[in-house]
Amino acid sequence: MNQMEKKLAEYKCDTNEAICLKLVRFPEDVDDDSTTFHPEYSHQLFGDDEVAFGYKGLQIQLFYSAGNLSTLFKVKYSAKVTEKFDCVEPDDVEGKIREVIPAGFSCNTDDFISLLEKEANFKPFGTLLHTYTVHSVEEGEDLTYQIHKVNVSCPGFKEFHERLQTFLLWFIETASFIDADDDRWDFFLVFEKYNKDGETLFAVVGYMTVYNYYVYPDKTRPRVSQMLILPPFQGEGHGAQLLEAVHRYYCTCPKVQDITAEDPSDNYVKLRDFVLVKLCMALPSFSTDRLKHGFSEEMAHEAQDKLKINKKHARRVYEILRLRATDMSDVEQARDYRLEVKKRLYGPYRKNQREITKMKKCLRPEELASHVSQMDTQVQHEELEKSYQEVLGDYRRVIERLALV
């Protein structure tokens, strides 16, 4: 790297550090660094390197009022590359952010603070589904939360959702904005109730979007599209409360076939495992004395009929509850459980064997040999054991969490 390149490199900023997000309740929060949080991702605006060029000490402020999400947007920096170098253009940071945040934001801190006075007028959208409390060690008291179901026809919600969905870009790797005008979308929002100067106010905690697909001839299949609990509230159990409330809502809808998720992340799958196991524990077919007899059609039917859980997910629930009821220090019980789970995991390998049989009929010996080597039995056994141990680890974490409920 020559001297010029070294000097220009000083004008590169990590955009995940430069972007400063806040959910503001009180005017003093604006200057309180402890209320700031940062994105996990910024590649959708700033490329795979997640770097902005042309600034030193870059700070991109995106501050939101806690309830209505009125927005303050400011760009600050200590130095700009054009102050020292001719013919070198900095990235248009402001332009990139303006592409994704809806119009109507403030650029002046005083104007933004004045909007906080209107937060008392903000009330959650839609219909109240569920209320719950979480004990706050910091506050020394139980805090109250509400989950609401909303559709896009609710007055003012479309504009609110445009502000809310900007958070997806920073915390979901493959996030994309949805066409909220489609009336097949359902929205579920979590709010915290809090007091300010003797008044009850509401702060956004997180949300979920669900699309209702048609299933022939007269059913629907709700599919979870996006789910986000905002960072200041993560790790407090709100995701589980939200997913359980959504499941319970759709369980009351006779036309719902089952509930699925679009390209679920590992974290979502773990959360779903916990919620579905918790729900299925109340079903007679999943009682401890029936688990030892294996997964049954009765389990699959009852899970779908009463809880809108499809057969694949019901099988996974069974395996978790079977593990919970199994003494893994007992050699015979541990062996029976291992074989039961591996029987399911072996499915893809059995498919490979069928493919080999088909190949024998249409491939030359040398072509067949190369394919068979890729499906080596020893490798299959090793991969099967690895998959089993990973599943076992996931299941044990669910059981540990259940013990805390």
- Catalytic positions, written as ranges: 262
Residue of 61, 54, 44, 47 lying closest to 13 (CA atoms) = 54
Whether 148 and 129 have beta carbons less than 8 Å apart is answered as yes
Total residues found in the chain within this entry? 405
Written as six digits, the tokens of 46 are: 């700033």
CA gap 195, 355 in Å, rounded: 64
Whether 203 and 66 have beta carbons less than 8 Å apart is answered as yes
CA gap 361, 401 in Å, rounded: 51
Cα 109-115-119 angle, rounded to 5 deg: 135
Spatial neighbors of 82 by CB under 8 A, at least 6 apart, are 54, 88, 89, 90
Q: Where are the alpha helices (DSSP H) in 119-237?
A: 157-164, 166-171
What's the CA dihedral at 170, 225, 402, 308 to 10 degrees?
170
CA gap 378, 373 in Å, rounded: 10
Residue 398 CA to its chain's centroid (Å): 17
CA gap 343, 97 in Å, rounded: 51
Residue of 33, 117, 35 lying closest to 70 (CA atoms) = 117
